[in-house]
């Protein structure tokens, strides 16, 4: 049973959610290191119960933003609101957030159960209750029966689950995850992506996830923010950001995108939206250009074709190998082809940040 203080926190979170107050609101947030603006006047909102990802390359400002939310760093200006309350000047222990790191940060001398229960112990939760809650958290991350082990006796994936259980055991308003899967191998990372989404849905806690992995961000997020040079380039659902990038940076960083300029207009088209046409194939309402296949890369499930266009520029085309063998794919190398795409699948973009996007190409 939750304590009266814990019940009040949960009730407060529900009340602010009912009012439509976001769990996190960043207003004019800025953090500088000398002349370098690590976070440059960011405005951002994260709704209650969202799985929200901050995506960007190294040095883009995403981790610094996470640290400002957690309270590990203080902003030079701006507000950090949790549930509508500005906490920018409060220390981490006075914020209803927990953080999961890539390196797990588990206490090596403690058992798994004691690691998970540690935060409850600090809060003064009775021993029997904290052991019960820690056991429930272990069940939630699907690690029953390991409570008596030490962290060194667990695999990397198991240690990450323990770190997650420790972070969610006292049900914070917001859980911050700083590239938590970065140290895992590909297969285990993909398994943990599924597990994180399952756990987030079950507990209903707002997750804010930092990563540089675009596939991870697209697969896991309800919404994501793309960071670049200390600013947010675009915020939206994975489909919105992937299908309708609003800047050249987003088009190039989130997935692979073709960028063309025709008649003074710059637009982007994703490789899987482009068709290679045979000589007898009708245009069928497509925008069609001619070119030469310069390179072919057969990668199992799909083949990538690089086509140099007669009108200037290069298109990357991706085709699923439904009935295509390696030899058949290679036969197109060096050949003249037509390529086509539908106008509604192209999107005009701007090269400079903060310029309004044009209409669809």
Secondary structure (3-state) at 26: strand
Question: What is the pLDDT, as a whole number, of residue 320?
Answer: 86
pLDDT digits (tens, 9 = 90+) for 130-185: 899 999 999 988 888 888 999 999 988 888 889 899 999 988 999 999 998 887 88
As assigned by CATH, the class of the 4-243 domain is alpha beta
pLDDT at 18: 55
Residue 64 CA to residue 48 CA, distance in Å, equals 22
- Could you tell me the residue ranges of all domains in the chain? 4-243, 262-348
Q: What is the pLDDT of residue 7?
A: 44
- Residue-wise pLDDT for 128-145, tens only, equals 998 999 999 999 888 888
* pLDDT at residue 239 in the model: 94
The sign of the dihedral angle between the CA atoms of 135, 183, 36, 233 is negative
Q: Which CATH number fits domain 262-348: 2.40.50.100, 3.20.20.60, 3.40.1030.10, 3.40.50.720?
A: 2.40.50.100
Q: Cβ(310)–Cβ(266) under 8 Å?
A: no
Helix axis angle for 127-140 and 112-122, nearest 10°, is 130
Q: Is the pTM higher than 0.85?
A: no
pLDDT of residue 361: 42
At residue 160, the pLDDT reads 86
Q: What is the pLDDT of residue 6?
A: 43
Q: Say how far apart CA 60 and CA 249 lie, in whole Å.
A: 12
Distance of CA 30 to the CA centre of its chain: 21
Q: Is 36 exposed, middle or buried (0-12, 13-18, 19+ CB in 10 A)?
A: exposed
Kindly report, residue by residue over 190-218, the tens digit of the pLDDT: 888 998 999 999 899 999 999 999 999 99
What's the CA angle centered on 249, arms 244 and 252, to 5 degrees? 75
Q: Which residue has the tokens 């933003």?
A: 65
Confidence at residue 352, expressed as pLDDT on a 0 to 100 scale: 52
Alpha-carbon dihedral 22, 28, 29, 32, rounded to 10 degrees: 170
pLDDT given for residue 184 in this prediction:
80
Residues of the chain predicted below pLDDT 70: 1-19, 279-280, 350-361
Instruction: Using the Cα atoms of residue 140, residue 145, residue 149 and residue 154 in order, give the sign of their dihedral.
Output: negative
pLDDT of residue 9: 42
pLDDT for 75 equals: 97
| pLDDT value at residue 354 | 46
């Amino acid at each position: 049973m939750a304590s009266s203080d814990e019940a009040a926190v949960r009730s407060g979170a529900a009340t602010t959610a009912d009012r439509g107050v976001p769990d996190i609101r960043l207003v004019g947030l800025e953090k500088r290191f000398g002349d370098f603006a690590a976070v440059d006047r960011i405005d951002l909102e994260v709704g209650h119960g969202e799985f929200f990802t901050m995506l960007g390359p190294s040095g883009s400002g995403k981790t610094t933003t996470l640290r400002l939310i957690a309270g590990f760093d203080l902003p030079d200006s701006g507000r950090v609101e949790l549930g509508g309350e500005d906490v920018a000047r409060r220390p981490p222990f006075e914020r209803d957030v927990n953080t999961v790191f890539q390196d797990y940060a588990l206490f090596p001398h403690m058992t798994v159960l004691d690691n998970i229960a540690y935060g409850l112990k600090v809060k003064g939760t009775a021993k029997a209750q904290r052991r019960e809650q820690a056991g429930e958290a272990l069940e939630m991350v699907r690690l029953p029966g390991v409570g008596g082990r030490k962290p060194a006796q667990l695999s990397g994936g198991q240690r990450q689950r323990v770190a997650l259980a420790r972070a969610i055991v006292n049900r914070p308003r917001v859980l911050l995850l700083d590239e938590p899967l970065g140290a895992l191998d590909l297969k285990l990372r993909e398994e943990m992506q599924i597990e994180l989404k399952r756990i987030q849905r079950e507990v209903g806690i707002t997750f804010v996830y930092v990563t540089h992995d675009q596939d991870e961000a697209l697969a896991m997020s309800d919404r994501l923010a793309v960071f670049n040079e200390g600013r947010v380039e675009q915020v939206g659902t994975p489909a919105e950001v992937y299908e309708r990038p609003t800047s050249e940076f987003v088009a190039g960083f989130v997935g692979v995108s073709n960028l063309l300029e025709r008649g003074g207009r710059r637009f982007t088209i994703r490789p899987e939206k482009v068709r290679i046409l045979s000589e007898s194939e009708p245009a069928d309402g497509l925008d069609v250009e001619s070119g030469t296949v310069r390179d072919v890369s057969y990668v199992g499930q799909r083949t990538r074709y690089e086509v140099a266009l007669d009108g200037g520029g290069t298109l990357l085309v991706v085709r699923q190998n439904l009935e295509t063998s390696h030899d058949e794919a290679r036969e197109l190398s060096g050949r003249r082809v037509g390529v086509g795409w539908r106008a509604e699948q192209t999107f005009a973009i701007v090269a400079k940040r903060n310029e309004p996007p044009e209409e669809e190409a």
